Amino acid sequence: MRSFITALPFLALLVDARKCGNEVVPPSVQMAARYFDRQDKLADARTLQAVAERTLVIDTYFHVISSDNTLKGGNLPDEQVTAQFNALNRDFKDTGISFVLKDVTRTVNKEWATFSVDNDSKDVEYTMKKALRQGSYAALNVYYRPLGDGLLGICVFPEDVTQGDRTFVLDGCQVLTGSVPGGDTTNYNDGKTATHEIGHWLGLFHTFQGGCAGGDGVDDTPAQRSPTNGCPTTNPDTCTGPQYPGVDPIHNFMDYSYDICMYEFSLGQTKRVFDFWDRYRAPHIGGPEPTVTRSSTTTTTTTTTTTTTTTPVITTTPVITTTAAATTTKSTTTKTTTTKTTTTRSPTPTPSPSIPDWWCDLFGICRSA
C-alpha cells in the first residue's frame, strides 16, 4: 500500500514466523521511496507497460562461509548452491530480472560463520565482506552462513556510495544456509528467503511495513497490519475500512509467509525496483572494481585435550550449470574458535556524485554549483 510515516517502528515478531533483519528502514531510503511514490502518481498505463517489458541482468556472487568442511558446519554442496541460484531466477522471472552467477567462493572460518548480526559484530562483518566481496555496487553478493539469533536473512538497502567505502563493502545479503532448497529449516527451505532479502537489496520494503497506517510505499500492495505466519487457506484482511482496499498480500515475496505460500511481486513493486536500480546501482555498472589481495586465514581451535592449528584458504568454485537439490540435516554450531584474519584491499575510488535532480525535486531547493 502507498503510505508513509515519519518513523517506521520495529515490529514485534511472531515466535514461529519468518524472521528478517530488515525491520527498520534507514531514513535516506524512506526519503527516496517517498520521492518515487510521488513520481508513481504521475505514471500512466504506458509507463507501467514499459516497466513490464523491461529486463535487467545482475552479476551475482555467492559466498559459502562455514565453520568447517562439513555440511553440518555450513559447507553447502554444489547441488544446493545451484538449486538456490535457479530458484532466484524462477522467483524473479515475471519482473524481467535475471541473475548471472559469476563466481562461488568457499571459506572455512568459524568466526565469520557464527557471528551474530548486531552492531557489536560490525567489525567482523566488515572484515569478512572486505575479504570476499566482488564486483561493483551493481553486483549482488550473497553470503550464506549459519546465522544465529533465529534470523533467516538480512540485506542492505541501496544508498549513495563511493567505490570502496564502508557502505560499499557492507553491501549485500546474508542468508541462512539452511534456507536453500532442500535445507534443514522447516517451512523456509525452498530458497525464497534469498528472494525476500534480495527484494530489500533492490529497494523493496516489507508489505506490512508500519502496519495499516504505514505501508511499503507501493500502491498495488494492499495494507497489512502485521506479518503473515504460515500459509492461510484464505487471505486475512487485517486492515479494514474503505481506505484500505484489498486483503493481505500473503503470496507476496515481501511478506513473512512460508516458502510454499510465496510466489509473486506486484507490478508496482517491479517499478519500484527499477526506480531504485536506476538511481543507486545502475551508475556503477561497468565501473572500476577494487583490487583485492587475500592472505591466508589462520584458525586456531582449542579443546580440553588438544590444540590444533590449521590454515584454511578462500577457494573459488567454477560457475555451476547443473540443476539439483539435496536434503540436509539440522546444523548446530559451537563457538570454540578464535580467528584472526588479515585482508588487504586497494579500492579504486570514484568521485562522489553531484546533488541529483530528484533530491532537488523532492525538497524544492537546490544549491548552485
Q: Give the active site residues.
A: 197
Task: Tell me, rounded to whole angstroms, the distance of Cα 223 from its chain centroid.
Answer: 23
Measured between alpha carbons, how far is 266 from 341 in angstroms, rounded to an integer? 43
Identify the three-state secondary structure at position 125. helix
In 3D space, the residue among 71, 77, 73, 101 whose CA is nearest the CA of residue 87 turns out to be: 101
In 3D space, the residue among 336, 345, 342 whose CA is nearest the CA of residue 111 turns out to be: 336
Identify the three-state secondary structure at position 223. coil
**DSSP tag of 158:** P
State the cell numbers at 227: 506479518
Measured between alpha carbons, how far is 2 from 269 in angstroms, rounded to an integer? 11
Residue 141 near residue 103, CB atoms below 8 Å: no
Measured between alpha carbons, how far is 203 from 216 in angstroms, rounded to an integer? 10
Measured between alpha carbons, how far is 293 from 44 in angstroms, rounded to an integer? 49
- Mode of pairing for the β-strands spanning 140-145 and 56-66: parallel
